[in-house]
Amino acid sequence: MFTFTPQNLQKIEALKSRYPSPNALALPLLWMVQEQEGTISLEAMEAAAPFCDLPPIELYRIATFYTMFKLAPTGRHHIQLCKTLSCALCGKAEILAHLQERLGIGVGEMTPDGRFSLEQVECLGSCGTAPVMQINDVNFENLTPKKIDEILKALS
């Protein structure tokens, strides 16, 4: 059974007073679920729905619309490499090849030990420091194969 932590329940109450309608809490609630559980389960959507006064299907529709919401588990270190134009112009392909070789997985896959998963994403808004990737919430910019090695080493 999914339940929000007491801290999150407090946060929800505080947030409610900041919006004209509880519906506005849909995205904040899904973020809380994801931060609490790692992924967003159907059960959690059902449990969260009353807090924003929406039917569960609406939360499901939202969760499948916004790409950052995770409905399936990812690795502990979820690597999201930007694939859009500025990064592509600045050597994204080389970085991707290097990541795949080092991790031994392809795009959309997870290492067998569950530590890393790799995904390509659209523009991360860091075009001036291309190529970039995000590991969980942290940005890594101006990537080079050497830098990738250092980052992966630090995470091992």
Partner 1 sequence: MRDARIVSRRFELPQSHTLEVARAHGAYTRLSEAFDKTPSELIEIIDQSGLRGKGGGGAGAGEKWKLMLPHDPRPKYLAVNCDESEPGTFKDRQIITKDPHLLIEGIILTCYAIGARAAYIYIRGEYRAHQQILQAAIDEAEAAGLLHVKGAPLLITVHRGAGAYICGEKSALLESMEGKRGHPRLKPKQKECEWYFGNPTLVNNVETIASVPFILYEGAAAYRSFGTEKSPGTLLFALSGHVQRPGVYEAEFGTSMMAYIEHFGGGIRKGKKLKAVIPGGASTAVLTAQEALEACLDYESMQSLYSALGTGGMIVMDEDTDMVLALKNLLEFYRHESCGQCTPCREGTGLADTLLSRVLEGHGNTGDIDKLLELASTMDGQTICVFAPAVAIVIRGFLLKFRSEFEARMHA
Partner 2 sequence: MIEIFVNDQSLHVNEGVLLIEALIQNRIDIPYFCYHEALGMDGNCRMCMVGIEGQKRPQIACDTIVKAGMRVHTTGERIEDVRRRILELELVNHPVDCPICDQAGECKLQDFYMDYGLYDSAVSKGEKVHGAKHVDLGANVMLDQERCVLCARCTRFTCNITKTHELGIIGRGDHARISTMPGRKLSNPYAMNVVDLCPVGALTSKDFRFAQRVWFLSSTPSVCHSCAKGCNIFIDHNAPKYQKERIYRFRPRRNDAVNGHFICDAGRLSYKSLNDHRLTCNNPDAMDRAKALIQAAHNIALLVDANLYCEQLDALVAFAQRIGAQLYCPNQCYYDEGFGDEWLRRPWRAANLAHINTLGITQSTPSEAHDLIISFNHPDLSSLTCKHKIAFSTHEGVEADVVLALRSWAEEAGTLINITA
* Residue 151 φ then ψ, to 5°: -65, -45
Q: Is 125 helix (H, G, I), strand (E, B) or coil?
A: coil
Minimum CB separation of residue 139 from partner 2 in Å reads 24
Give the nearer residue to partner 1 in terms of CB position, either 86 or 111: 86
* Residue 104 φ then ψ, to 5°: 70, 25
Cβ-proximal residues to 150 (8 Å cutoff; 6+ apart), any chain: none
* Partners of 130 in beta bridges: none
From candidates 5, 7, 23, 39, binder to partner 1 by CB under 8 A: 23
Cβ-proximal residues to 27 (8 Å cutoff; 6+ apart), any chain: 62, 66
Interface stretch with partner 1, choices 25-33, 99-107, 109-117, 148-156 (CB under 8 A): 25-33
* Partners of 119 in beta bridges: 80
DSSP state of 141: -
154 lies in the binding site for partner 1 (CB under 8 A): no
Report yes or no: 75 and 88 within 8 Å, Cβ to Cβ.
Answer: no
From candidates 38, 50, 55, 73, binder to partner 2 by CB under 8 A: 55
For the segment 11-50, give every residue that binds partner 2 (CB under 8 A). 42, 45-46
Interface stretch with partner 2, choices 24-32, 56-64, 103-111, 133-141 (CB under 8 A): 56-64
Residues that contact partner 1, how many (by CB under 8 A): 43
Minimum CB separation of residue 71 from partner 1 in Å reads 12
Q: Which residues bind partner 2 (CB under 8 A)?
A: 42, 45-46, 55-58, 60-61, 64-65, 67
